[in-house]
Every structure is written in structure tokens, then in C-alpha cells.
Structure 1
Amino acid sequence: MSNQYAILEGAEPFYFEGNKIGILVSHGFTGSTQSMRPLGEAYAKAGYTVCGPRLKGHGTHYEDMEQTTHEDWIVSVEEGYQWLKERCDIIFVTGLSMGGTLTLYMAEKYESIKGIIPINAAVELPDLAAVQNLDGVRFLDAIGSDIKNPEIKELAYEKTPVKSVGELVQLMEKVKGNLHKVTCPTLIFVSEEDHVVPPSNSNLIYENIASDQKQLITLNESYHVATLDHDQPIIIEKTLQFIKEILSK
């Protein structure tokens, strides 16, 4: 099914070969790699090996996404992880929104992950949970491009498949139930004002993970897509600092 849709310009996966330390970078629900590319490029510039996979059904057409499951999205991220494993000794994972959810999933499953950086990650969205049961409705309005900076636009779908919402809810439930399995160092970024994922999600994550080393940083000048917003430099700077600190131990 997926083959009939071309990848949108700017939504391609990205790979940067660097040193033996890898960073897996995941975009979010209905979004594309465009939202994470500036981070990927900055981490590559710092010398790291970076992989930014395109989640299956994303960066093409929302009807393509409708055909995919949350297991497909997990596979997309795990393929990126395997790509890094072949090249690196140490791996960090970061992601935005559902990419943050997938980041947590990876830390729950793979104990070898050295550290994670979830950004406005989602583990419970009650409003969305209600939406998945809408009868006869196939697509909802877009949820992308929640950005404070008026000059920036996110490359995301103009419609959201109701079926995909159900898949996201399943993924969040799975991840939320296993937060206690996250033991690696964790740096959580949360936007003070977010119109897609309530900031309370990040507090819930912070409280429920079992990591000894964990920090919550509030972003005051960004909405949901903080990776493309005013606080992008802070995310990059603090992430590089976090990685450096862990590697120096």
C-alpha cells in the first residue's frame, strides 16, 4: 500500500556518520523528520553518528499513515537503532511528541541505551482517547505545526486518521504502564504552553521513571513543536551538555 505514495520533500530519513557514539532521533505523530533535522545536524556537527528514521506511513500522505500500526512505528525506530548499533558503542535516544513516547519505549526495552531525551512526550491524552471511538469519522483536523514562532511551519499532515489515533493510544498505554522500566539517565524537555500534549505528561514521566539521574527542563518560548521553535538552541545545547556529562563519568 505504502509504495503508491512518494516521500514529501524534507521528510526523508537522515543519516550522519560520525564517531562511536550514536544518537537516534525520532519525529512525532503525523509529523516528519523535518521537525528533528536541525537537532540531527547539530549533533552530527558535534561529531556524533546520527540516525533520524522516517516512521512508517509518515512524510507521505495521511491515507498512507492510516494503513500503519504503532508496531510499524516501533519497527521504524528499531531499524534506526540497529543501524546505529552496527556503527556505535554507545547510543542515546531523543524524540519529539510521539517520538518521545517511542524514546521511552526504547529505554524500557533496551537496557543498553545510555541516556534518553524525551521532548514534549505523550503518555496520556484523554481527549484523543475519546476521539478514537467516533463512528463514521475517518479523518480529523490536523494537529501539526503548534509553533509559537509565526515564521516557522512544521511539515505535517493536514488531516489525522482516526484509526491512527487509536494506534497512538495503544502505544501510549503500553509505554505508560512500563515507565518504571526506564532506568537510564533522562533529560526531559517540556513546553510551558503546549496545545497538543498537556505539559502534565512530562511531570508524570518524571515521577514514574526509575532513573537515578533525571532532570526536567521547562521551555518558556515554545509550543508543542519545540524542536523548530524559539527554544531549539536550548534543546541542542542542554542535550549536548547532558551527553557530555554522561560520557565523562
Structure 2
Amino acid sequence: MSEEYRVLEGAEPFYFEGGNVGILVSHGFTGSTQSMRPLGEAYAKAGYTVCGPRLKGHGTHYEEMEAATYQDWVDSVEEGFRWLKERCDSVYVTGLSMGGTLTLYMAEKHPEIKGIIPINAAVDIPDMAAVQNLDGIRFLDAIGSDIKKEGVSELAYEKTPVKSIRELVKLMEKVKSNLASIECPALIFVSEEDHVVPTHNSQTILESITSADKQLVTMKESYHVATLDNDQQNIIDGTLKFIAKVEKKAEL
């Protein structure tokens, strides 16, 4: 990696070795692992093995992100999944925003995943679909730090590459068209007010996946980056309860 693209402090991938149940934790578009680290640390404290990969082109500089494709982001998550599978009997996947999109992608591709917890996941953002066709414009304003809680900010890029938006739109279309193939248990978190991903996305996911065990939880005190917002503990508690329930059912 060139000097120009050093990983920002706080944006490093994280790995916690724990028990034989693993949790793959994915951050979102233009963001970094900083948005998911509190969750990762809480799950590790609860005894789980946790992997929080840094998606390629993220956590460095937006010009490096511009050169990454959605397949690069998929590959980053796949690498984390392989790390967990080497150590764990069962793996769960959770993610924020595009991390939620990648969570759905993984469930579509890997039916052995035991359960998923998408958080404000994106499968259809009309505004992004519109701006992907902009000609001659390379970067747009930042989309990070949509947080209700005062004094909290997300470690995210100050600009958004239009090329990266095109890649995200491709990923969303691919994932949305395949949602019916998801059959594993799903706990879906959605913020009541979100200024990045329209809330209808989570309803679409709920209605489209064919899981027998699926639930939508509405968060009233957080905006888009709910993992750093007022509902952070609710996400942690709900996720731990969900995994314990699924694991117990698997033992019966």
C-alpha cells in the first residue's frame, strides 16, 4: 500500500477469537470499521468469535475507494467469512447500510449461514440510482455521520465518488433480485428516521426473504448510523438474544 493510502486510525479491521460461534460484522459505504467496533467488542465480550473486515478502498482515502468495485467489497467480506469458518461451527452475519446489503448477499450465496442481522440495509436508493448517471462529476458530498446522538461522529469519507455509487447500485440490484433465496433466520433493524437509506428498504427485505423466522425492529432514537447512535445497546442486546435463540433451537 502506498504512503498516500495509509489506513486511518480507527479504521483497521478487527478480529476477536472466542467460542465456536462466529459473527461477521460489516461496515457501510464510505464508512469504516469504527462504526461497527462497539458491536464487535460487545459480541466478543459475550464469548463469540468476531471478524470485522475493512472493505477494500475504505478507511483510507476516497480516491482509493473510487478504484474499488463491488466485487472487491464482496471479496473483503468473503475473506472474513473464511476466517470465521476455519474457527467456528456456525456463523452469523450482521452489517450496517451497505454492510447490510453485503450481509444479504452472503446469505444468498452461503445457505449455511445460521442467521443474519441487517441494520438499515440498502437494496433500493432512488437518489443514488439517479446520480449514478451524472457525467463529468467525479465526487459528491459526504453521506456519513447521519447520527441523532449529539457529539458522536462516524469515521467516514468527506467525499463520495460517483463511480463508487455506480458500484453500489449494481450490488443493490443484484442482491434485491435474489432476496427470495434467503431462508435463514433474520433480525432486521430499521431506523424510523434515516436520511441516507429510505426506510422502505427494510420492509422490502422483510417481505421478500422467505425465512420462516424473521422480525423487523424499528429504532425510534437513531438515524442512519444506528450502531453509533442512541439505539446501539438495543442492537447489541437484540442481536445477542437472537443468536442465543437460534443456537438453542439448533440444539433441539
The two structures have a TM-score, normalised by structure 2, of 0.98
Per-residue CA deviation, residues 112-158 of structure 1 (Å, 9 max, x unaligned), is 00000000000000110110111100000000000001210000000
Distance 1:48 1:4 in 2: 35
1:209-236 CA-to-partner distances (Å, cap 9, x unmatched) read 0100000000000000000000000000
Match of 2:6 in 1: 6
- 2:43 counterpart residue number: 43
Partners in 2 of 1:125 and 1:149 — Cα distance?
A: 24
Match of 1:31 in 2: 31
In structure 2, the residue corresponding to 1:148 is in which secondary structure? coil
Alpha-carbon RMSD: 0.8
Q: Aligned ranges for residues 147-162 of structure 1 at < 5 Å? A: 147-162=147-162
Contact kept? 1:26, 1:53, Cα under 8 Å: yes
Are 1:93 and 1:117, in contact at CA under 8 Å, matched by a contact in 2? yes
1:4 Cα deviation from its structure 2 partner: 3.9
What's 1:189 paired with?
189
- Summarize deviations over 1:53-77 as a string: whole Å, max 9, x none: 0000000000000000000000000
- Give 1:127's aligned residue: 127
Q: What SS does the aligned partner of 1:248 have? A: helix
Query: SS of 1:211's equivalent?
Result: coil
Shift of 1:2: 6.4
Q: Distance in 2 between matches of 1:101 and 1:188?
A: 12
Structure 2 gaps, min length 5: none
1:240 and 2:204 matched? no
In 1, the alpha carbon distance for the partners of 2:3 and 2:137 equals 25
CA–CA distance in structure 2, aligned partners of residues 181 and 115 of structure 1: 14
Among the aligned pairs, what percent are the same residue? 75
Residue aligned with 1:197, SS? coil
Question: What is the alpha-carbon distance in structure 1 between the residues aligned to residue 90 and residue 121 of structure 2?
Answer: 23
Provide, for residues 97-123 of structure 1, a one-character-per-residue CA deviation record: whole Å limited to 9, x for no partner: 000000000000001000000000000
The answer to whether the 8 A contact 1:2-1:64 is kept is no
Contact 1:107 1:113 in 2 (8 A): yes
Which residue does 2:223 correspond to in 1?
Answer: 223
- Answer yes or no: is the 8 Å Cα contact 1:24–1:51 preserved in 2: yes
Q: Distance in 1 between matches of 2:208 and 2:233?
A: 28
Aligned counterparts of 2:43 and 2:161: Cα–Cα separation in 1: 33
Question: Which of structure 1's runs of 4+ aligned residues deviate more than 2 A?
Answer: 1-4
CA distance in 2: counterparts of 1:105 and 1:2, whole angstroms: 31
